[in-house]
């Protein structure tokens, strides 16, 4: 608050001293009714001065630019370059169409391979199933014959053992 009072006293005493703009803002502590830190104010003033000096440098650089005339030869070259670019665009469009056609052909070949492999795998699975079914049906008559042969051998064993028993008992009875 002391600083505000000293500023008011200087103004009221009528001391007319001419100061620069930057000095006024660097020394002033009161701006629009608020107390301002002098360090912050100095940095703000420095930034403004730097900004304005950069503007003046760019303005002087613009004045130093030399205008290069645009000749008819330059215009002709630009027209030729544009014509060549249009020709290149047409070539690129035809190449793009060729790439699209090749991609379609590749897609068709991939589809053909998918179908071909699908059919082959289906045939292999069918063949495997047929072999299993055929083996089972071919083995069934052989198994029936084997079971009949086993039954016949049992019957034969029973008959042989019965015959042997009969002969042994007969031999024991009529031993003399």
Write the CA distances from 52 to 41, 47, 120, 130, integer angstroms. Answer: 17, 9, 83, 96
Query: How far is residue 79's CA from residue 76's CA, in Å, rounded to a whole number?
Result: 5
Q: Is the dihedral of CA 45, 46, 48, 52 positive or negative?
A: positive
The two structure tokens encoding residue 11: 């103004």
Quick: pLDDT tens for 1-11. 444 444 444 44
pLDDT of residue 86: 92
pLDDT digits (tens, 9 = 90+) for 96-140: 999 999 999 999 999 999 999 999 999 999 999 999 888 888 888
The C-alpha atoms of residue 45 and residue 21 are separated, in whole angstroms, by: 10
pTM above 0.95, yes or no: no
- Angle at the Cα of 120 (from 116 to 124), degrees rounded to 5? 170
For residue 152, the model assigns a pLDDT of 83
């Amino acid at each position: 608050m002391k600083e505000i009072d000293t500023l008011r006293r200087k103004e009221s005493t009528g001391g007319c001293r001419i100061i620069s703009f930057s000095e006024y803002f660097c020394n002033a502590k009161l701006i629009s009714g608020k107390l301002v830190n002098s360090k912050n104010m100095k940095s703000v003033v420095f930034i403004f001065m730097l900004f304005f000096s950069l503007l003046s440098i760019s303005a002087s650089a613009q004045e130093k630019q030399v205008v290069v005339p645009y000749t008819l030869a330059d215009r002709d070259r630009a027209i030729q370059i544009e014509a060549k670019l249009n020709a290149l665009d047409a070539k690129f469009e035809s190449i793009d169409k060729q790439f699209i056609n090749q991609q379609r052909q590749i897609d068709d070949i991939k589809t053909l391979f998918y179908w071909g492999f699908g059919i082959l795998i289906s045939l292999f699975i069918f063949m495997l199933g047929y072999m299993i079914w055929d083996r089972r049906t071919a083995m069934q008559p052989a198994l029936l014959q084997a079971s009949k042969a086993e039954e016949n051998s049992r019957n034969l064993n029973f008959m042989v053992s019965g015959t042997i028993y009969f002969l042994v008992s007969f031999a024991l009875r009529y031993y003399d």
